[in-house]
Amino acid sequence: MFLLSLLCGVPLVAALILLAVKDNGTRKVIVKLAAALTMILALVSAWTFYREPVFTFKLAGAVSEFVLAGDVVLCLIIMYLSCRSGRFWIALLALVQTGLMLWMETTTGSTLQVTNDILIDHLAVIMMVIVGVIGSLITIYALGYMEDFQRLEPDIEDRRPYFFFVMFLFLAAMFGLVLSNNLLNMYLCWEITSVTSFLLIGYTRTGEATHNAYRALWMNLLGGLCFAIAIVYLRLRFDTVELDQLLRLGLASFNVTLPVALLVFAGLTKAAQMPFSSWLLGAMVAPTPTSALLHSSTMVKAGVFLIIKLSPLLGDNEAGLLAMFVGGVTFLFASFAAISQSNGKKVLAYSTISNLGLIVCCAGIGTFEAVWTATMLVIFHAVAKSLMFLTVGTAEHHVGSRDIESFDGLFNEMRTLAVCMAIGICGMFLAPFGMLISKWAAMKAVIDAGHPFLMLVLVFGSSATFFFWTKWLGKITAIVPGRKNLEADVHADEWLAMKTLAVLTIVVCILFPWISSAVVVPYLQNVYHEVVEVIGQENLIIMSSMVVLLVILPLLSFGRGHKKLVQTNLSGENLGDDLHYRGAMDVDVPVTLRNMYLENWFGEARMSLAGGALCLACIILEFAQLLGGVAHV
């Protein structure tokens, strides 16, 4: 238990210290120290708790009052912030949910008996490692990045102490969230992540940033409201606020579909599923470490974490169908929308939304193989996506744009970075993440569960995924002559984070058969009391050896050879440098190459309208069915 309080406490204390430190040098030392400590603590506690399948713990009674006070303070902060900017409906959202919680506490009094405040199973261990390792690396990266950011954007007020304070607070809240079994505690952490993401998105204080930050806030508060209603319902009807009790009730065929659906809805908003995906897209305006943190290890993962936890209760009921179809539709339309984007961060955002859609969809199916897929996706996505964001952030600072079209010749300008980026891209869509897990296992799960339309969504969505990733990969691997090296002044902190993540991506890709059998399968065995072989072990090993091949081959033979170099074909009018040709009227025309974006087919507005409408219809339908059902009973 001491370990756990350290795990949450170290980031919390670091946050407070960083708020006070104004000096850049001191901050660097503290951030690195805190990040290293957090990482070590996360790994040590992961190892400690890995050895028992489920560890439970009861906190002292005073903690619950502390949590309630936290809810109230948070509510006051939100109300102050939203009233100050004249957005009273957001204040109302916060007021209603905290009011609900207070009302529940005062009317039901102290009758509530909580057995386990904290529950650590293997899923929590996985999340702990993801948050600890990837989150910490991102904070280290942020050191170098923010220095450049403030230098390149002199108009933006330097509020770095505040920035790092919020980042570490975020990590602490995430640890709290994944460890909680008591929904009241989880709810507090849930709300803290909503508020911290709001603060991070609005960091630059420009009009757009503020607007997007408030949008993220209200969408997440809407989820928070459903979370609160679910808690109150559970408390009044079943006299419990514990997640494992909820699972036990559901498996004993009590009718808990309504609170489960409400919690799933909360998860959907946090995981940025359509029609709530706009908050994650809007979050792009924040400095890159924020996006990396939101997209990979925290925030959105909190949403899918909750849904995966609930997955034994999902399946062919309203709550399960809600997750399945909203996730599936989001996967399809977000992948399509990514095709039409040339802004690197936006492509990443859409790809995150689509991947989360797949995770939510699989968790919604709720069978052994589907949840295996969902959990594996969480791991791979966290590593590869954080790497992608960090490389795009660094490229943006040194190339001067985050547009993929401006990454022409990145391979010549910033070779190491391009290699890291290529590893990230391959990690996202090639073996094993993109093929074995997000196609094979997901397809098998969907077919075995008998959902033909979800199968359709998977088949078409994954071909779109292939399209937009390969086109990006092609752009950064093109050899453009005559570029100078821009890599020299990238901060060492940024390299440390990016190279570690690149190595991690490769390691995870190679070791995934082991990850499956060591962590994911034991977790599922504990939940489902059976083991299903999703993909045969020999196929896993074949895939893993193909990844080894992909890593070894470039080392052996990349760029070797002694061929005579010649010019590219510019129809006989090449001016000699491959970069210009003689055009009409004897004018020198520079060669510019652009990718296809199929805007008329997969335009963003169309895709988000179609996806949003379908998902909204699905949400309304499922809830109407649920509430109608309750009223009849």
Partner 1 sequence: MSELMNNLLFGIAYLILAPVVGGLLAGCDRIITARMQRRVGPPLLQPFYDVLKLTEKQEIAVNLIQDFYVGGFLLFVMISGIFFFTRGDILLVVFTLTLASVCLIVAAYSSNSPYSQIGAERELIQTMSYEPMLLMVAIGFYLATGTFSLSEIMHGHAAGIIFLPGVFLGLVYILGIKFRKSPFDLAMSHHAHQELIKGTVTEFSGKTLAMVEVAHWYENIFLLGFVYLFFVWSAGWSILLGLLACAVVFFFEILVDNCCSRIKWQALLKSTWLVSLVAGFINLLILMYMR
Which residues are near partner 1 by CB under 8 A?
409, 430-431, 435-436, 439-440, 443-444, 447, 450, 452, 455-456, 459-460, 462-464, 466-467, 470-471, 473-475, 477-480, 536, 539, 542-543, 546, 553-554, 557-570, 578, 591, 593, 595-596, 601
Q: Shortest gap between Cβ of 516 and partner 1 (angstroms)?
A: 17
CB closer to partner 1, 74 vs 535: 535
CB closer to partner 1, 103 vs 601: 601
Following DSSP, what letter does each residue of 270-319 receive, concatenated? HTT-TTSTHHHHHGGGS-HHHHHIIIIISTHHHHHHHHHHHGGG-SSSHH
Nearest to 97 by CA among 262, 252, 254, 239: 262
Quick one: 209 exposed, middle or buried, by C-beta within 10 A (0-12, 13-18, 19+)?
A: buried
CB closer to partner 1, 31 vs 362: 362
CB closer to partner 1, 162 vs 597: 597
* Residue carrying structure tokens 């020198």: 588
Q: Shortest gap between Cβ of 352 and partner 1 (angstroms)?
A: 21
Q: Shortest gap between Cβ of 315 and partner 1 (angstroms)?
A: 17
Nearest to 341 by CA among 17, 553, 605, 71: 605
Phi, psi of 565 (to 5 degrees): -85, 135
CB closer to partner 1, 14 vs 473: 473
Cβ-contact 372, 527 below 8 angstroms:
no
Q: Shortest gap between Cβ of 308 and partner 1 (angstroms)?
A: 24
Here the tokens at position 228 are 């609160």
Long-range Cβ contacts of 624-627 (<8 Å, 24+ apart): 625/318, 626/257, 626/258, 626/261, 626/318, 626/319, 627/258
CB closer to partner 1, 33 vs 456: 456
- Cα distance between residue 255 and residue 251, in whole Å: 10
User: Beta-carbon neighbour count of residue 564 at 10 Å?
Assistant: 4
Peptide bond preceding 590: is omega within 30 degrees of 0, i.e. cis? Answer: no
Cα 467 to Cα 271, 461, 470, 519, distances in angstroms: 24, 10, 6, 32
CB closer to partner 1, 422 vs 626: 422
Provide CB contacts within 8 A for 327, sequence distance 6+. 273, 356, 357, 358, 359, 360, 361, 362, 363, 364
CB closer to partner 1, 207 vs 536: 536
Q: Shortest gap between Cβ of 457 and partner 1 (angstroms)?
A: 11
CB closer to partner 1, 96 vs 435: 435
Is residue 180 classed as helix, strand or coil in its secondary structure?
A: strand
CB closer to partner 1, 436 vs 614: 436
Here the tokens at position 101 are 């919680």
580-582 and 588-590: which strand pairing? antiparallel
Provide CB contacts within 8 A for 540, sequence distance 6+. 432, 436, 512, 513, 516
Nearest to 242 by CA among 250, 522, 62, 626: 250
Q: Shortest gap between Cβ of 600 and partner 1 (angstroms)?
A: 9
Q: Shortest gap between Cβ of 391 and partner 1 (angstroms)?
A: 17
CB closer to partner 1, 435 vs 496: 435
Q: Shortest gap between Cβ of 444 and partner 1 (angstroms)?
A: 8
CB closer to partner 1, 554 vs 628: 554
Q: Shortest gap between Cβ of 407 and partner 1 (angstroms)?
A: 12
Q: Shortest gap between Cβ of 538 and partner 1 (angstroms)?
A: 9
Cβ-contact 357, 285 below 8 angstroms:
no
- Cα distance between residue 197 and residue 179, in whole Å: 20
Return the CA Rg of the chain.
24
Here the tokens at position 633 are 């009973």
Phi, psi of 22 (to 5 degrees): -100, -20
User: Beta-carbon neighbour count of residue 73 at 10 Å?
Assistant: 12
Q: Shortest gap between Cβ of 330 and partner 1 (angstroms)?
A: 18
Q: Shortest gap between Cβ of 511 and partner 1 (angstroms)?
A: 19
- Looking at the DSSP bridge assignments, the partners of residue 403 are 343
Q: Shortest gap between Cβ of 255 and partner 1 (angstroms)?
A: 29
